[in-house]
């Protein structure tokens, strides 16, 4: 059975602006022109709504701090959230700033439990952007969204164990995407919960509330068939900044290995593999140097270390230090999609070696060759591999 998780950061724009401004205990309003684009939870409790005139919102919240909107800044912060989620799921479906759905199928097995997976997601989001994310896990998007809206006070997440319909039944009809008029009429009829609305006949819903209410009726019955439509993220950026010019190679390797190695481990845990690694180094002279390496086979810490040492070698000369390193892990794909190594086991390799040697003894020298790695960090594919004679 498929599992979908909804990751929700309430009042994302206001949270982002709150980190840029010292608001203390004041309400926060984000204005675009003369209209309200976003607001904090305190302003929402006072009745502020998106699209309100700014002067009306200030009348409701006279102590509020109003700041101009910066959409480019919000997009940059949101990309960091999506990068964090890409560490834990192969599919990330961004709905809007502050709301995203991710594929949670099989993550309970990879992380030990769905609860452990949710905790890992929350920790990485907080580490990236300093915001607490709510997580809801269910069999459909709508149920996952409702679960994220009403998380456990202890874990800030809700995992739907039974059917989506049973989970949704006790919630008020306000959770459904219905018009104000439809909600009013449902109240007059004594229908106040999602479960009561779900028990209505489809024909009755269409006749009484119009065909536009049928989608909400399906969702109330746990029949939300919307799939994840977001594209799989194909790259992940990891940034390591130094407060001073660093020219010790081992210190550079250790710093990048600590951050990049953890990112690769998380990717592997979520069932993703890395095809290419790009390292961009910023020197204290302002110069930027880039190196590329292709990842072949397993990408454990030791291999990553060797590749980093090769990539960082000779990047700086005397008197030049490194101010920052940007590590881009690209070509992310499900690990199950990688080509299988048919001779991975020792016994299989031994049989292959014996067969090649017999062929080499039987035929003239140089007739039997094998493909071998020559220069793994070469940017040209043709230079990475070569043919070697099989020794008898």
CATH number of the 165-220 domain: 1.10.150.20
CATH of range 4-138; options 3.40.1170.60, 3.30.70.580, 3.50.50.60, 3.90.45.10: 3.40.1170.60
pTM: 0.65
Q: Which of these, 286, 273, 179, lies nearest to 232 by C-alpha position?
A: 273
Fold annotation for 235-337: Dna Ligase; domain 1 (3.30.1490)
pLDDT by 10s per residue, the chain, length 392: 689 999 999 999 999 999 888 767 789 999 999 999 999 999 999 999 999 999 999 999 999 999 999 999 999 999 999 988 988 888 899 989 999 999 999 888 888 999 999 999 999 999 999 999 999 999 999 999 999 999 999 999 999 999 999 999 999 999 999 999 999 999 999 999 999 999 999 999 999 999 999 999 999 999 999 888 765 566 677 778 887 888 777 887 888 777 777 777 767 666 667 777 777 888 887 788 777 776 655 455 666 677 677 766 666 454 468 888 888 777 666 665 444 333 334 445 556 666 777 777 777 667 777 777 666 566 665 666 777 777 76
- The residue ranges of every structural domain in the chain are 4-138, 165-220, 235-337, 346-389
C-beta of residue 108 within 8 angstroms of C-beta of residue 114: yes
């Amino acid at each position: 059975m498929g599992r979908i998780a909804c990751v929700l950061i309430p009042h994302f724009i206001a949270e982002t602006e709150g980190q840029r401004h010292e608001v203390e205990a004041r309400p926060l309003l984000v204005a675009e022109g003369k209209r309200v684009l976003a607001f904090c939870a305190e302003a929402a409790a006072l009745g502020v709504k998106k699209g309100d005139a700014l002067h009306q919102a200030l009348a409701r919240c006279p102590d509020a701090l109003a700041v101009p909107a910066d959409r480019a800044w919000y997009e940059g912060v949101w990309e960091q959230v999506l990068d964090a989620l890409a560490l834990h799921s192969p599919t990330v479906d961004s709905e809007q700033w502050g709301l995203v759905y991710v594929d949670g199928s099989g993550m309970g097995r990879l992380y030990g439990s769905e609860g452990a997976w949710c905790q890992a997601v929350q920790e990485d989001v907080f580490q990236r952007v300093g915001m607490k994310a709510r997580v809801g896990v269910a069999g459909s998007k709508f149920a996952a969204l409702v679960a994220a809206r009403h998380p456990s006070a202890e874990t800030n997440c809700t995992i739907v164990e039974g059917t989506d319909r049973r989970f949704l039944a006790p919630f008020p009809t306000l959770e459904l995407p219905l018009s104000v008029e439809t909600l009013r009429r449902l109240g007059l009829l004594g229908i106040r919960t999602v479960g009561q609305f779900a028990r209505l006949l489809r024909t009755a819903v269409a006749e009484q509330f119009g065909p536009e209410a049928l989608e909400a009726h399906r969702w109330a019955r746990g029949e939300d068939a919307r799939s994840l439509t977001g594209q799989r993220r194909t790259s992940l950026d990891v940034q390591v900044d130094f407060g001073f010019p660093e020219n010790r190679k081992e210190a550079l390797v250790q710093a990048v290995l600590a951050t990049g190695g953890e990112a690769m481990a998380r990717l592997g845990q979520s069932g993703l593999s890395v095809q290419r690694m790009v390292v961009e180094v910023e020197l204290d002279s302002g110069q930027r140097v880039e190196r590329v390496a292709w990842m072949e086979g397993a990408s454990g810490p030791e291999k990553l270390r060797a590749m980093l040492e090769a990539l960082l070698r000779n990047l700086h000369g005397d008197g030049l230090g490194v101010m920052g390193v940007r590590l881009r892990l690209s070509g992310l794909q499900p690990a199950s999609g990688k080509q299988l190594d048919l001779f991975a086991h020792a016994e299989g390799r031994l049989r292959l070696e014996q067969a090649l040697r017999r062929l080499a003894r039987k035929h003239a020298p140089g007739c039997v060759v094998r493909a071998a790695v020559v220069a793994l960090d070469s940017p040209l594919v043709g230079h990475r591999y070569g043919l070697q004679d099989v020794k008898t």
